[in-house]
Structure 1
Amino acid sequence: MPSPEEIAKLPYRPCVGMLLLNGDDKVFVGRRIDTAREGDNIWQMPQGGIDEGETPQEAVLREMEEEIGTAKAEIVAESRQWLHYDLPGHLVGKVWKGRYRGQKQRWFALRFMGRDSDIDLATEHPEFDAWQWVELEDVPGLVIPFKRDTYRAVVSEFRDLLGRR
């Protein structure tokens, strides 16, 4: 495990996250395969890295298709600022080949324009083994603890989108 000083020198991984709303203002969450194998019931909103030369807007639509098998959505809002989270020390050397201390994320709210049957978790590199639509306020309580503050900020920023179409 890297020392706290070594961790502090590592950069944050540039990333996007998506709060995907359906027509009933419920939020998409997927259960992570890696935590389900360990017997945990950890859910999260889709997120992923920004490729070189890619804008955050391009990345969020690509990541959505890669993680849930569809890009049938429109971007309706973007977070005002980048949000950061740090990995717990014991994960720093294991995740992303030890190159990052955590993630800096640009979050987007998207309105899902497809049907539930358009969602297909059997993607080329599956990340989720189950999915569900949940109430916005319930999302932070479903995620791994070190991401909860970030998720609370996302919920707070996008809460006013509920009820708008």
Structure 2
Amino acid sequence: MPFRRGARVLLFDEEDRVLLVRGHDQDQPERTWWFTVGGGIDPGESPRQAAVREVREETGLHLDPAGLLGPVAERTAVFDFLRQAVRQHELFFVARVARPGALSHEGWTAVERSFMDEARWWHLEDLGRSGLEIFPSELVSLATDLLAGWDGAVRQLVEQRRVR
């Protein structure tokens, strides 16, 4: 099974909303889920650099790597990607943006365009009540805890599997 390293960002705006991306399975387009901005770490890139690059590519927002908090959490996930099971170890960072303005999908790669549908800001209360499939599954509790203040510990998230 291929292995990837990933960097993800819990991106909050001035209203404490978190930015998530909606994706779908190419083989089951009716099945959708929401996930944090982020992706694979390129060769020679640090997790922090990858997190900033992924935010820019997926949203058009520019972050300062020094402004990222964390890593605040990590998890290992197994999921289908390009029709094969992949194991990915992910580090999660936190960033804040004031008045983010319109999001851009101009930086989406052809692969991202094939399974990513939209990005949206969510109030945590609405997300918690939504009944939607969310990755990581502990996102609402993690985000709530982080908004109250980070204690410096790297939270270990549950390993998740999303394979056919």
TM-score, L = length of structure 1: 0.67
Deviation at 1:148, TM superposition (A): 3.9
CA deviations on 1:9-59 (whole Å, 9 max, x unpaired) are: x46421011100001110011222556x71234222111011111111111
Distance 1:85 1:106 in 2: 11
Q: Percent identity?
A: 23
1:110 aligns with 2:90: no
Q: Residue in 2 aligned with 1:7? A: none
Aligned residues: 143
Return the structure number with greater strand share: 2
Kept after mapping to 1: 8 A contact 2:20/2:37: yes
Label 1:19 to 1:81 Cα distance change in 2 as closer, same or farther (>3 A): closer
Q: Residue in 1 aligned with 2:104? A: 120
Q: Residue in 2 aligned with 1:133? A: 121
TM-score, L = length of structure 2: 0.68
Q: What are the residue-to-residue correspondences of 1:16-165 with 2, within 5 Å? A: 16-32=7-23, 34=25, 38-72=29-63, 75-87=67-79, 91=80, 94-95=83-84, 100=86, 102-117=87-102, 119-125=103-109, 126-127=112-113, 128-136=116-124, 138=127, 141-144=131-134, 147-149=135-137, 151=139, 154-155=142-143, 158-161=146-149
List alignment gaps of at least 5 residues for structure 1: 1-9
Distance 2:32 2:89 in 1: 24
Distance 1:58 1:81 in 2: 17
Rg larger for: 1
Return the structure number with greater helix share: 1
- The root-mean-square deviation of aligned C-alpha atoms, in Å, is 3.3
Deviation at 1:149, TM superposition (A): 3.5
Q: Residue in 2 aligned with 1:3? A: none
